[in-house]
Amino acid sequence: MARKRRSSPLEHLIRIATRLPAWVSLLLALISYLVLHQFADRPVAVATRPGSAVPANMVEILLHPLLSVLQYAIPIALVFGALVSLLKAFSGRRLAKQYLATPSPQIDALTPFRGRQGTADMSWQQFELLVGQAFRQQGYRVIDGGEDGPDGGVDVHLKKDGKTYLVQCKHWKARSIGVSVVRELYGVMAASGAAGGFVVTSGDFTDDAKVFAHGNSIDLIDGVELDVMLRSAAKSLPEDALRPSETFPGTVSCPRCASPMIKRKARQGVNTGQEFWGCSRYPKCRGIRQI
């Protein structure tokens, strides 16, 4: 089995820059250049020592050529990381606009919603950018998932109010996400100390996945809620045009939040086995309607 190539220090610096706000990376680039340039531009005179052929400032002499390179290399790496971060944010906004421009499918209350047609033509990388944009519009700072460490399988990191949240994305090809995916994310959350997690898909989730996620600080976002997240934060549309009940014509609307409802079956209590309409934003919203 081939060993994974170790990243160079500059590659690590670029990765760090992509995780910082772009303005922070650009500010650090400017500061690093100004500081390193002061040392690199300073002439180095050889300081001799009596009775020794080795100059007294040998370390300074050896480091001076390195500083001449680093005064440009470090700022360039930081600027490049900032540009990558800005490009991904721009791509996410563009994908969201394209997604919202795709007509909503005409579905009725008996047809389970599995995401807009717009996600069908996306690659998994584009789907991750779209998901990142959905959270960005909710006030989160979006960071790409890392390749190293215990959270290597996480697609997106989120920051909000000083807390970290982990996001696992499952593209449209995964029509129904099982409990194993949710369990894996829970394990990564425990190892990394994250405050919560999200599993996002343009499909839906099995009942076992929903049961496990409930009470374990994991929110499951299916195709319906992803669509609602993107539309509800679209500033270019009037508020009335963003109501989920208008976004999905023909669906049953939640009496609490007006989101589309999904047909569910009671698994316990006096109504065990009976079907009812449950809010698609469960467990965030527990609105129900009788069938």
Residue 16 sits in the same domain as residue 122? no
Assigned domain for 177 exists? yes
Q: Give the total number of structural domains in the chain.
A: 2
Residue 261 sits in the same domain as residue 201? yes
Whether the full predicted model's pTM is greater than 0.75, yes or no, is: no
Residue 268 sits in the same domain as residue 164? yes
Token representation of residue 264: 């569910």
pLDDT (0 to 100) of residue 74: 95
Point out the residues of the chain with pLDDT beneath 70: 1-5, 44-59, 102-118, 145-153, 172-174, 233-251, 267-273, 283-284
- Whether the Cβ atoms of residue 239 and residue 231 lie closer than 8 Å to each other: no
Assigned domain for 97 exists? no
Residue 243 sits in the same domain as residue 158? yes
Residue 218 sits in the same domain as residue 279? yes
Assigned domain for 102 exists? no
Token representation of residue 259: 């989101």
Last residue of a domain, one of 87, 122, 145: 87
Residue 56 sits in the same domain as residue 114? no
Assigned domain for 279 exists? yes
- Whether the Cβ atoms of residue 288 and residue 275 lie closer than 8 Å to each other: no
pLDDT (0 to 100) of residue 172: 57
Residue 139 sits in the same domain as residue 56? no
- The β-bridge relationship of strands 196-201 and 204-205 is unpaired
Residue 191 sits in the same domain as residue 150? yes
Domain that holds residue 48: 9-87
d(C-alpha 204, C-alpha 84), whole Å: 31
Which CATH number goes with the domain that contains 268?
Answer: 3.40.1350.10
- Whether the Cβ atoms of residue 218 and residue 196 lie closer than 8 Å to each other: yes
pLDDT (0 to 100) of residue 55: 61
pLDDT (0 to 100) of residue 36: 92
Residue 123 sits in the same domain as residue 178? yes
Assigned domain for 259 exists? yes
Residue 113 sits in the same domain as residue 73? no
Assigned domain for 100 exists? no
Q: DSSP of 21-56, one letter per residue?
A: -HHHHHHHHHHHHHHHHHHHTS------BTTBSS-T
Q: DSSP of 52-72, one letter per residue?
A: BSS-TTHHHHHHHHHHHHHHH
Residue 117 sits in the same domain as residue 159? yes
Q: Is the peptide bond preceding residue 283 cis, with omega within 30 degrees of 0?
A: yes
Assigned domain for 92 exists? no
pLDDT (0 to 100) of residue 245: 42
